[in-house]
Amino acid sequence: MAGGDAEPTLNRVEAVVTASSVASNQDLQPKSLDKPSKAHPEGSFGEVVFNVKPRPQSIFLLPATVIGSGQGSFQLDAESVGRLDRFHRRTVYTFAGNQHSTVYQNHVTSIAIENPFLMHVILTLTARHDRFLSSSKDNAKRSIAEAYHWSQGAALLNQKLSAPIRPQDRDALWAAAAILGLLSIAEIEASTPWEAWPLRSSESSDLRWMDMSHGKEAIWKATDPMRPDSIFHVMRDDYRTLMSKPALCEMHDMPKEFVELCHLGRTAEPTQNPYFTAVSLLTRLWHLKCTQATMTRYMQFLGFMDPAFKSLLHEKDPRALLILAYWYGPMSESLWWIARRARLECQAICLYLELFHPHEKDIQVLLARPKEQCGLLT
């Protein structure tokens, strides 16, 4: 898609899911939630630990700096400058790592000065990271600053996407889309599994955070961040991994328990089975620890999920839920922007399957691994 020919599919940026609470069953309350949360170790930025802690220079902007010009422009106050400095010195390392952190520290921060929608999105992510690192008991809910910058950034980005995309706007648009993708995963307003999907009451917004990848795909095509003149060109190898569907596994390579549970061998064409691709992707992650270096491999599961499998998740199909729990499990103690959702929704899935599918003994046996990974077993 050419830079100036954006399609109407780019006109909306979906809001994240707002969780609703359900009554808890004390008999199934996970033991791990009774314990105080582990302190973040010295040298870490929330589940990312460095042998040598990076020490970039502080941000160069001052309060009253004007971001952008014309409609949507605004002045940075002292709190926003502080957040931008924390983004620069801390938060970038939790999703870009040492190798590509300078892309966000130098280039993305610079173009955000001329693009208010991007600056608001950056400030939202940093405020969200601040909330994760806080010791407040109420850190499951958005702060006022976080909610403000989210609403402003989304509104301004929608306006930008409703007009033809100019070549000079492509990198700013992709940076905003990439950060919004992190935010959609990170945003889960639940403190216990009883308030998380699938245990809570069903809502029309269930699993909407998974749809963010489709919006990013449309912006990807319009902005082409792998083009030679893009600031993101240096990240092309990671993007190729993320965008390339792994080869499907042979059934004899898949865990036998899942082959039998999902009836993968009972059809002439196993790939037509709605569980086949998900089990294949899961197989490739079976012995792969979830770290910052391997996160793109884990994100392939989301990017290449079959629509039929996602429909089963919406229906709370027990086999689909079990597969998702196995994907969530290793991420429960991983990077901050995925760990909270992975832990709470993995716990919620395991408790849901115990409550509503207790007679499916094969599923109950297979629950042991994700229950241990997400903290239900101690």
> Where is 361: in which H helix or E strand?
helix 361-366
pLDDT at 211: 82
CA distance 201 to 196: 9
Question: Is 367 strand, coil or helix?
Answer: coil
Q: How far is residue 37's CA from residue 131's CA, in Å, rounded to a whole number?
A: 14
pLDDT digits (tens, 9 = 90+) for 210-247: 987 667 888 999 999 999 999 999 999 999 998 888 99
* Average pLDDT of the chain to the nearest whole number: 85
d(CA 252, CA 198): 31
Checking if the pLDDT of 16 tops 50, the result is no
Angle, in degrees to the nearest 10, between helices 78-89 and 116-133: 80
Do residues 172 and 225 lie in contact, with contact meaning Cβ atoms separated by under 8 Å? no
DSSP conformational letter for 151:
H
Q: What local confidence, expressed as pLDDT, does residue 71 receive?
A: 85
Q: What would the pLDDT profile of 254-295 be if each residue is shown by its tens digit?
A: 999 999 999 998 877 888 999 999 999 999 999 999 998 899
At residue 124, the 3 state secondary structure works out as helix
Compute how many other C-beta atoms are within 10 angstroms of the C-beta atom of residue 100. Answer: 16
Which residues have C-beta within 8 Å of that of residue 252, sequence separation ≥ 6?
none
Tokens 């940075």 locate to: 76
Which of 149, 119, 115 is closest to 131 using CA atoms? Answer: 149
Biggest alpha carbon–alpha carbon distance for the chain: 67
